[in-house]
Amino acid sequence: MTTIYLIRHSIRMSQSDIETYNTNQSDLLKNEKIILSVEGEKRAELLCKKEELSNIDVIYTSNCVRTLQTAKYLMYNQNLKANIDERLNERKSGTINSKKYSDCFERQYYDENFKTEGGESQKDVKERFSKVIDEILDKYDGKRIAVFSHGYAITFYLLKYCKFLGVFDNRLRYEFNGKIAFDKSINAPELFKLTFDGKVLKDLEVIEFDDIPFNSGV
């Protein structure tokens, strides 16, 4: 069996903390450079000390600063290096027309092909994310792998295996093997434990900790 932990990054710094931002960089690059908040750093360190994440063999992160910042505590604690892969990046949101797409959040889960101008669909993200996970499963059979990524990217990928039951006040409800697997808004950080036999997902579990209460981190 191979265990893959999908980990959403910890709380990022709020844009409201930035007075001015004078740059010609693209919105995509600016998003990739967002750092963790002070609370986010504390939560990341706390998470990476949990026994659940002991004896990790391999670490993967997206190409974004906040995922690497979350992962660095696990890297330090277990003397591991990061494999950075941009296919684990967050969904490209594109240009959201709030008047035309007032239900954008819900629609992207109900319709896997929905995308805004310049953005990615659920299907797009799911396909690129799946390629990385398949490569990991081929290369590290029987190992324990931590993959640090993002809320949309992870929840879109999980729809490869889960039945989507709906969005309820920003709470996502997923079913796996006939049982409710996820029924909440995604935390920062959030920890999903996936157990594979070969490339067959046998078990999906959300691991929660009382000392890491809910905070969306956005």
How far apart (Å, rounded) are the C-alpha atoms in residues 8 and 47?
11
Task: Round the average pLDDT of the chain to a whole number and report it.
Answer: 90
Q: Which amino acid is at 155?
A: T
More confident residue, 159 or 20: 159
How far apart (Å, rounded) are the C-alpha atoms in residues 195 and 4?
6
Tokens of 177: 């093997």
Of 201, 218, 186, the closest CA to residue 137 belongs to 201
How confident is the model over 27-56, as pLDDT tens digits?
665 666 677 899 999 999 999 999 999 999
Of 110, 154, 113, the closest CA to residue 132 belongs to 154
Residue 182 confidence class, pLDDT cut points 50, 70, 90: very high
**Please, what are the domains in the chain?**
2-207 (3.40.50.1240)
Residue 17 confidence class, pLDDT cut points 50, 70, 90: low
Is the distance from CB of 194 to CB of 3 less than 8 angstroms?
A: yes
How far apart (Å, rounded) are the C-alpha atoms in residues 213 and 210?
6
Using DSSP, state whether 27 is helix, strand or coil: helix
How far apart (Å, rounded) are the C-alpha atoms in residues 180 and 174?
6
Q: Which residues pair with 58 in a beta bridge?
A: 145
> What letter does residue 13 receive in the DSSP assignment?
P
Q: Which residues pair with 171 in a beta bridge?
A: 168
